[in-house]
Amino acid sequence: MARVALVTGGSRGIGAAISKALKEAGYDVAATYAGNDEKAAAFTAETGIKTYKWNVGDYDQSKAGIAQVEADLGPIDVVVANAGITRDAPFHKMTPEQWQEVIDTNLTGVFNTVHPVWPGMRERGFGRIIVISSINGQKGQFGQVNYAATKAGDLGIVKSLAQEGAKKGITANAICPGYIATEMVMAVPEKVRESIVAQIPTGRLGEPEEIARCVVFLAADDAAFINGSTISANGAQFFV
């Protein structure tokens, strides 16, 4: 029977590429989104991948949504915690709301997504947790105190989960993408984008599919010994 994968924020951008790559690799995939019904419907029409709407920042919604996915597709074997937002501002202008929204979505959202599936993974003796962090969680970034804090937090989450899940056949790993050509990045003014590309030795933005292939690699049954690690996919922009 095919393994079941859940991809949060799996209807757009990097998440959409991850959902498609997992489907191609033979997984039964459920993709979630927050509110963009139109994009989600278009994604399902294009790919046949079912989409589910809930806010990853809300524990009860996440638990209920995950129960629905499991009722539809079966127990979840692979969780890709990908949903994320930015609310950028220099620290002296950052509002408590900007701080909290990013913490709720990017950090608490990972807890809310993994916590409901964890007991089942422990019982069945198999699980793959993959968290999409960021280069800016590794190096920090001007205007992103909130975002960098959550993405650095992701690395702490996977290193701890890796130790807790290891004896139960569960791995937890992070991927730190550099700048990837999604709506998030294409929305910044062209001049700013050019200055970003100038800092990437590869000389271009990454493609969502280049992150998706890291996910497929980590999700595999025979990736069992890769646990608690971080894959940097950033075109040589930054080394840890």
Ligand X SMILES: NC(=O)c1ccc[n+]([C@@H]2O[C@H](COP(=O)([O-])OP(=O)(O)OC[C@H]3O[C@@H](n4cnc5c(N)ncnc54)[C@H](OP(=O)(O)O)[C@@H]3O)[C@@H](O)[C@H]2O)c1
Q: Are strands 170-177 and 78-81 parallel, antiparallel or unpaired?
A: unpaired
Site string for ligand X, 28-67 (x = CB under 6 A): ----xxxxx--x---------------xxx----------
Residue 220's CB is within 10 A of a number of other CB atoms, namely: 14
Contact status: 138 vs ligand X (CB under 6 A): no
Whole-number Å distance between alpha carbons of 130 and 80: 5
What is the rounded CA–CA span in Å between residue 157 and residue 154? 5
CB 220 within 8 A of CB 27: no
> Facing residues of 79 across strands?
6, 129
Nearer CB in complex with ligand X: 4/56: 56
Q: Does 127 bind ligand X (CB under 6 A)?
A: no
How near is the Cβ of 5 to ligand X at its closest, in Å?
Answer: 15
In whole angstroms, the minimum distance from the beta carbon of 182 to ligand X comes to: 3
Torsion of CA 111, 115, 121, 122, to 10 degrees: 110
Tokens encoding 98: 């900007």
- By CB under 6 A, name the one of 161, 162, 180, 218 that touches ligand X: 180
Q: Minimum CB separation from ligand X for residue 108, in Å?
A: 10
Q: DSSP secondary-structure letter at 20? A: H
Q: Which of 127, 153, 165, 177 contacts ligand X by CB under 6 A?
A: 177
Handedness of CA 180, 16, 227, 55 (dihedral sign): positive
Q: Which of 33, 52, 147, 179 is catalytic?
A: 147
153 lies in the binding site for ligand X (CB under 6 A) = no
112 binds ligand X (CB under 6 A): no
Which of 78, 83, 161, 214 forms a contact with ligand X (CB under 6 A)? 83
DSSP output for 109-141: HHHHHHTTTHHHHHHHT-EEEEEE--HHHHH--
**Per the structure block, which two tokens stand in for 199?**
């800092």
Q: Is 179 in the site for ligand X (CB under 6 A)?
A: yes
How big is the site for ligand X, counted in residues (CB under 6 A)?
A: 30
Q: Nearer to ligand X by C-beta: 15 or 165?
A: 15
Of 193-232, binders to ligand X (CB under 6 A) are: none
147 is catalytic: yes
Chain residues binding ligand X by CB under 6 A are 8-9, 11-15, 32-36, 39, 55-57, 82-85, 105, 132, 134, 177, 179-180, 182-185
Catalytic positions are 147
